Amino acid sequence: MDLYKNISFLQKFDTENQNFGMIVEMFNFLTLKNTDMKQLTFLMLIAIAVFSTSCETDQGGNADMKTIDFIVQSSEWDEYGIEGNPGYGFAVDLSMPEITDNVINNGMVSLYMKSGESWLPVPIYFYNDNYEGGYIYAMKRGVFSIEYYENDHFTVRPNTEIFRLVIVQPI
């Protein structure tokens, strides 16, 4: 029977393999020919108990959150690659001293792009009849990069856009 193939994904959720044996036994129990509703209910209660008691939560930690709104003018986007070839697009590298090694390794960075009165989370992907494209971002210490591309390899220079960067710096 291929039942064990179906339960191998459960190992991903059980990092210490403390409960995996019990999970296998529950699956074996479920495959018996005379499984009735009482057995199923019993197994579900055991599964809930096992999974609710084996999780640990992080109770500590403080962080500083900083929000930076900025505008990237259309003229600031640098062209990269060769038009008509894969890899063609536009990018902007921004000096951002707030992006520290601590933020990269332990914190969080989120980027949003203004659209009307709303803020859209980046990455943003869009689809057209002829092409698809979007905005993505990358970072390294002190530098925050935003890229814009279209997969037809004839990317049009982006308009002036307003962005919001949210940086969570662990203390």
Read off the pLDDT of residues 7-47 as tens digits, 9 standing for 90 and up: 333 344 444 444 444 444 544 544 444 445 666 566 565 65
- Check residue 46 and report its DSSP letter: H
**Which one, of 82, 71, 91, 103, lies nearest residue 147 by Cα?**
91
Mind listing the pLDDT tens digit for each residue in 117-147? 999 999 999 898 888 999 999 999 999 999 9
Per-residue H/E/C for 107-146: CEEEEEEEECCEEEEECEEEECCCCEEEEEEEEECCEEEE
- Beta-sheet strand order (sheet of 161-170): 63-72, 161-170, 108-115, 118-122
State the Cα–Cα distance between residues 7 and 167, nearest whole angstrom: 38
For 33, the token pair is 């020919």
State the pLDDT at residue 171: 83
Q: Considering the entire predicted model, what is its pTM? A: 0.64
Domain boundaries, given as residue ranges, for the chain? 3-53, 63-170
Which of these, 105, 113, 118, lies nearest to 147 by C-alpha position? Answer: 113
Are 62 and 171 in contact by the 8 Å Cβ rule? The answer is: yes
Residue pair 126/134 in contact (Cβ under 8 Å)? The answer is yes
Nearest to 66 by CA among 162, 161, 156, 165: 165
- pLDDT band at residue 2 using 50, 70 and 90 as cut-offs: very low
Neighbours of 146 (CB within 10 A): 23
Q: What is the pLDDT of residue 149?
A: 93
